[in-house]
Amino acid sequence: MSDSSDRPARKAVVIGGASGIGWATAQALAAEGCRITVADLNAAGARSRAAELGAPHTAAAVDVTDEDSVQRLFDDAGPLDIAVKCAGFSNVGLITDMPVADFRAVIDVCLTGSMIVMKHAGRHLRDGGSLVSITSLNGRQPGAGMSAYCAAKAGLSMLTQVAALEMGPRGIRVNAVAPGFVHTPLTAAAASVPGVIEDYVDNTALGRAGTPQDIANAVVYLCSPGSSWLTGEVLDINGGAHLKRYPDVMGHVMRLVEQS
């Protein structure tokens, strides 16, 4: 995806860029010659990451559940070539036990927040730009105790397709990447539960968990000329986990609780 020397650097905003998949994506796009705005709810973390990348890369604070915050981010960034939304989180609980507020919190970040980002990114992306969201294996594979996250990610997959239809006339490509289990700060709590990692790996055809770089590589491809005829796609990057069953995360959590 490297830019030719006689062309100005592409401008990219990476939301959730202070850690995990977002940080790997920011680094990968910067290595391809893009000028990055590292945006995150963790403003100090975003500034630190932008400093690691060095000039001309910049940082910004953003809360994807706050439309004014998202609008300011894109207004300040100006015309863009690439926008990537990596921000997300999950919780665990049976539907019959889950407070509605906990369900809504996940939907707000993972689904409604994605719509807000698409709305304002779509207004600032140049014709021919690329918009990528990070969804999940849980968009197609249900997991007991993960109702909010599964529903949000399934919704994001369809939202991606609708946005691709709407933005296609301007040549803007809208795609998503659906990771399986990837070692990040987001998944650290699940990874600490005995049996969870083993269950994931046993149900992954390639026999390993993913890395943030695995996902960043896919994002770089979706932002490159090599994917110029690809839009409305959700790429499964999960080592073949979608070919097997989803791990019994809730069961492992409940066994841990019973032992405590």
Nearest Cα to Cα of residue 222 among 169, 177, 162: 177
* 188 located within any domain: no
* Neighbour order of strands in the sheet with 11-15: 58-61, 35-40, 11-15, 80-85, 125-134, 173-179, 234-237
Establish whether 149 is a catalytic residue: yes
* 257 located within any domain: no
Q: How many CA atoms lie within 13 A of 147 on its CB side?
A: 12
Q: Which residue has the tokens 């996902």?
A: 215
Q: What is the CATH number of the domain that holds 234?
A: 3.40.50.720
* 196 located within any domain: no
Residue pLDDT, tens place only, 165-179: 999 999 999 999 999
* 69 located within any domain: yes
* 206 located within any domain: no
158 SS3 class? helix
* 16 located within any domain: yes
For residue 65 the two structure tokens come to: 């559940």
Residues 86 and 18: their CA atoms lie apart, in Å, by 10
pLDDT at site 6: 60
30-52 mean pLDDT:
98
* 5 located within any domain: no
Tally of structural domains, the chain:
1
- The phi and psi torsions of 245 (rounded to 5 degrees) equal -95, 160
Residue pLDDT, tens place only, 56-93: 999 999 999 999 999 999 999 999 999 999 999 999 99
* 112 located within any domain: yes
pLDDT at site 250: 86
Residues 151 and 225: their CA atoms lie apart, in Å, by 32
Q: What is the pTM of this model?
A: 0.94
Domain that holds residue 139: 11-183+211-243
Out of 149, 200, 221, 246, pick the active-site residue.
149
